[in-house]
Every structure is written in structure tokens, then in C-alpha cells.
Structure 1
Amino acid sequence: MKTTEIFKYKQVFSYEVFPPKKSSNVSTIYKTIEELKKLAPDSISVTYGALGAKNNEETFKIASAIKSYGIESITHLPCIGLTKEDVLEKLEELKKLRIENILALRGDLPEGDYKKGDFTYASDLIRFIKENGNFNIIAACYPEGHIDCKNIVEDVKNLKIKVDAGASQLMTQLFLDNNVFYNFKEKCELADINVPIEAGIMPVVNKKQIEKMTSLCGVKLPKKFIKIMERYEHNPVAMRDAGIAYAIDQIVDLIAQGVDGIHLYTMNNSYIARKVHEAVANLLLEKKAS
């Protein structure tokens, strides 16, 4: 099933997982998925590292396993370093696995020299997938602007190119201030971007985690969140619970404001996902089919 269809009937709630870096730990991801299955997610996405990361070969296997559990799966596909022949091979494999949903990305640019491949931007990959298969194509978006883009206006223009190229659904990078998301939504509407947008939420459970995310993605920290970190950073359990509570507050507000969906970055932690689900499951709205 193409996940974009689900938005017609309800506010969507989905999760993201990633293949463990060590092959010896692969079994742990299946235990996580079994726990997530109990939460009845609308879909689960599986990340895929750029430029031949060692755990990439597990991405499609995990996505296929998710399908076997009766859950719609989304596989990430970054284009940096890939040729058109590479992508065609991957599309053929996904067809055989009956995986219909692809999150098409550029991928993080590595330092130094690297194989360029045939695709410069995510929009190039989206257009190529659209021309070579009947997939539901999802694109990433950045409420605070992509770190490589000079401003949010330019970034929204680039997002419009992705949608026009064939993206029928969007997922945001994590953000910690809902007003940033609402302002971004307004800019999307002005740019005539009219596809469902899932808000990406990551419960931040330790200081190191958010410091890494801010350096990689440029996510801004609200004063309220900084105070939480300062108060609880030396108490791991309290920081975990405070991070979950902060994410729940974000999600409750987003649901009340009619967000299309929530995409929870689980960091492969089913405990966090379960706590969030317990708090918000009854708030998600069913929509009447027209």
C-alpha cells in the first residue's frame, strides 16, 4: 500500500528505525520492530546510509520484514554516489519485495573526494524514480531550512521542485519548537505545496544526542528545552523522562492543530516509542472518507 493513501482517512503516526552499525547486533532491530508492531503504526521507515555504508545491505531486508509483520514499510534511498544503473537495480529489488514507498534523499555529503554518481539533488532522484516505477515517493523537508541552503525561502523553493518532480508526501527533519513548523507550513502553502506533511519528532533523551543533531542539522534549541537539559543532564533517567515529556507536549499540540501526521524518530528505542504512544494514541483523529 502506498502510505500517502492513509492520510485521506486519519492523522498518521509512523516510526523510523535504522539498521545497527554492527552486523552482530542485527537481531536487535527485529525485536524493536516486534515491539513497535504492538503500537499499530501506520508505517515504519528504515534508514539507509550514503556511499555504501556497511549496514546498507540490511535496509531492504528490514523493510521487507516490516511488510511481513503486516505494517507498511518505507525505505530510505540517498542518491549520492549512485549511478542510474545502481538505482534501477535497487528499484527492481524493491519491486520484488513489494515495497512501494521510498524516501528519496540526496544524502549527507562526505568530506574529501568521493564518487559523484549521476544525481546531484534529491529532486533528480525523485524524477528518475517517478519515470522508472510505480512507487510512492516521499521527500524530506526542513522547517528551519536545510543546513546547506542560504535561507528558508530558497529551501521551500527547492522543496517545490521535489514535489513537482514527483514527491507525493513529505517528512520533516526534527524540530523542537512547534512555531517553527507552523511558520514552515504557511510558507509551503504560499508556495502551492499541497501534499501531506508529517512532522518529525525526536524525543531527546541525553545531551550528547542533541548536540550531535544540532551540529549535523542546525536544529535550534528553544529556551525551554535548554533549561530542561541544564537541569537534568547529569541525571540520565530524569533526562530521559523529561525528553519524552517534551516530545509528548509537542505532539499533543501538533495533533490539536490538525497536523497531517507524526513521524517519530525512535533511535531504535521501543520503550520511548511506547511511552509516547500511550500518551497520544487516543488523540489521533480519524477522518471521514469523502
Structure 2
Amino acid sequence: MKVVDCFKDRPVISFEVFPPRPGASEAALNRFYSSLDVLADLDPAYISVTYGAGGSDNHASTLRLCRYIKAHYGVETVPHLPGLEFTAETLPDYLDALTHAGVENVLALRGDLPATGQPHGPFQHASDLVTAVKAAGDFNIIGACYPDVHPEAPSLAVDVAHLKEKVAAGTSQLITQLFFENDHFYHFLDAVAEAGIAVPIQAGIMPVITAHMVERMATMCGVGLPQKFAKMMRHYADNKVALRDAGVAYAVDQIVDLLSEGVDGIHLYTMDNPIVTKRICSAIKTLI
């Protein structure tokens, strides 16, 4: 099933998970698959699977997990597809493997820049990758977008112009990068609408698990930390349980506001944490 069809019954709730690292211990694998049991039982519209970590097994670990989720739980999967990790020769083979696994959706991304800071290969922009995937098969293509502006874009206007190119190339729905200030998201939606972009946009929400993790992600993604959020992290920094509970409350508050404004959907960055994800979903289940 193409997950863009889920937006006929808005709002859409979906999750992101990370594949286990190659060489993970049996205990770690057991924890991961137990977490998947919980996440799948929450009945997401789909689960996106990040690009697997660890050398040449990157493609394979993501594909294996997508295949497992579909077969074991009957939940649609969306593998992350970072263009900088593929060549014109390897991309068609991987797309064929996805098709044979019954995967109909991909999240097309440029991918992280190499240490040199210079992209390489034929897919130096996400729009290049979208064009190639669109030509290769009948995939539903999801793209990323940035309410706080892409860290490499000089302005929101330029960022939205590039986003429009990506949608024109064949992207049918969007997921935002994490953000902690809903007003930034609403301002972004206004700019997107003014540009004539009319595809569903899910708000990407990352609940706090540790202060270090959020600060690192915010720095990497160019995401601003509101004063209220930063104050919360400082106040509970020395109490992991309290910080987790405060983070859940903050994420729920964000989501309640977004749902009341008619957001197309919520994409939860679960960090493979079923406890936090289950608490958030329980808090909003009557609102969907």
C-alpha cells in the first residue's frame, strides 16, 4: 500500500526506528524486537526504517528490517534512501530488491555530507534522487522538509524553492525534521502554501530522552531550542527519569496543539524507545 493514501483519513501517526547495529549482542537484539512488538501494537500507519549503520551491510539491514516488519506485523514500511550512498548502478538493484520485498514507499534523502563537506555521485540533491526513483518504478516517494530551515539554506525562501523542485520531481508527501517550536512549523506551512506546494506534511516530533541527545540532534539539524524547552532540560538534567517525564509532557503538548490546528499527521522519532512512544500515543489516542 502507498502510505500517501492514509491521509484520506487524517491525521496519520507513524514511527521511525533504527535497525540494530551489525554485531549487536543477543540481548540487544531481543530488546530491539521486543520494542518493535510494542510499537507495532500501537497501530501506526507505517514505520520508517533509517539507513542501517555499519559498512557494506547498510542496504541489507534496512531491507531485512522492512521485510520483517511487513511480514511479522502487517505494517507498511518506509526505508530511508540516502542518495549520497548510491550510484547510478547500485540504486536500480536496491530498488528492485525493495520491490521484490513488497516495499512500495521510500523516504528519499540526500544523505549526510562526507567529511570533506562536498557531495559526490549522481544524486547530490534529494531532487536528483527523486527523479531517478520516479523513473525506476512505481514508488510512493516521501521527502524531508525543515520548519527551522535547512542548515545549508541561506533563507526560508530558498529552502522552500528547493522543496518545490523536490515535489515537482515526484515527491507525494513530506515529513519534517524535528522541531520544538510549533510557531516555526506554522510559519513554514504558510510559506509552503504560498509557494503552491500542496502535498501532505507530517510534523516530525522527537520526545526528549536525554539532554545530550537532543542538543546533539538540534545542532546537527540547525534546530532552535525555545527558552521554555532549554529551561526544562537544564532543570531536570541531573534526573534522567524526571527529564524523560518532562520530555513526554512537552511532546504531548506539542502534538495536542498540532492536532487542534488540523495537522496532516505526526511522525514520531521513537529512538527505539517503546515506553516513551507508548505513553505519548496513550495521551493522544482520543484526539485522533
The TM-score with structure 1 as length reference comes to 0.94
Q: Distance in 2 between matches of 1:59 and 1:49?
A: 5
Matched, 1:204 2:208: yes
- Aligned match of 1:33 in 29, 36, 44? 36
Query: Any idea what SS the aligned residue of 2:86 has?
Result: coil
Query: Is 1:11 aligned with 2:11?
Result: yes
Q: Which consecutive unaligned segments of at least 5 residues does structure 2 have? A: none
- Deviation, structure 1 residue 170: 0.1
Moved more, 90-99 or 22-31: 22-31
In the superposition, relative to structure 1, how do residues 115 and 167 fare at CA in structure 2: closer, same or farther (>3 Å)? Answer: closer
CA distance in 2 between partners of 1:115 and 1:153 (Å): 23
Alpha-carbon distance in structure 1 between the residues aligned to 2:33 and 2:96: 24
1:97 aligns with 2:117: no
Q: What value does the CA root-mean-square deviation take over the aligned residues?
A: 1.6
Q: Deviations over 1:152-211 (max 9, x none)?
A: 110000000000000000000000000000000000000111000000000012110111
Structure-2 residue corresponding to 1:162:
166
**Native 8 Å contact 1:202 1:266 kept in 2:** yes
Alignment partner, residue 287 of structure 1: none
Greater alpha carbon shift after TM alignment, 190-199 vs 201-210:
201-210
Counterpart position of 2:51: 48
In the TM superposition, residue 129 of structure 1 has moved relative to its aligned partner by 0.5
Amino acid at match of 2:49: V
| 3-state SS, counterpart of residue 23 of structure 1 | coil
The ranges of structure 1 where at least 4 consecutive aligned residues each deviate by more than 6 angstroms after the TM superposition are: none
| Structure 1 residue 119 displacement after superposition | 1.1
Give the 5 Å matches for 1:109-128: 109-112=113-116, 116-128=120-132
Distance 1:119 1:50, change over 3 A: farther
Are the equivalent residues in 2 in contact too, given 1:48–1:56 (CA < 8 A)?
Answer: yes
Partner residue, 1:279: 283
Shift of 1:261: 0.2
Task: Quote the Cα distance in structure 2 between the aligned partners of 1:109 and 1:203.
Answer: 26
What SS does the aligned partner of 1:228 have? helix
Alpha-carbon separation, structure 1, partners of 2:85 and 2:280? 37
Task: Report the equivalent of 2:79.
Answer: 75
Aligned counterpart, 2:147? 143
Contact 1:104–1:122 at 8 Å: present in 2 too? yes
Q: What's the counterpart of residue 224 of structure 1?
A: 228
Answer whether contact 1:6 1:12 (CA < 8 A) is retained: yes
Structure 1 residues 116 and 39 mapped into 2: Cα distance closer, same or farther (>3 Å)? same
Work out whether residues 140 and 171 of structure 1, in 8 Å CA contact, stay in contact via their aligned partners in 2. yes
1:32 Cα deviation after fit: 1.6
Work out the percentage of aligned pairs sharing the same amino acid.
48
User: Taking structure 2 as the reference length, what is the TM-score of the superposition?
Assistant: 0.95
SS in 2 for 1:200: strand
Q: Please say if residues 106 and 140 of structure 2, whose CA atoms lie closer than 8 Å, have aligned partners that are also in contact.
A: yes
Cα-to-partner distance string for 1:207-262 (whole Å, 9 max, x where unaligned): 10111112211110001101101110001100000001000000000001000000
What amino acid does structure 2 have at the position aligned with 1:249? D
Match of 1:66 in 2: 69
Contact 2:113 2:119 in 1 (8 A): no
Greater mean deviation of Cα atoms: 210-219 or 234-243: 210-219
Moved more, 46-55 or 73-82: 46-55
The whole-number CA distance in structure 1 between the counterparts of 2:269 and 2:2 is 20
1:54 Cα deviation from its structure 2 partner: 4.8
Kept after mapping to 2: 8 A contact 1:50/1:79? no
- For residues 220 and 176 of structure 1, the distance between their equivalents in structure 2, rounded to whole angstroms, comes to 7
Letter in 1 for 2:216: K
Contact 1:19 1:56 in 2 (8 A): no
Task: Report the residue type matching 1:15 in the other structure.
Answer: F
Q: 1:22 to 1:44 in 2, by over 3 A?
A: same
Q: Cα–Cα, structure 1 residues 52 and 116, in superposed 2: closer, same or farther, change >3 Å? A: farther
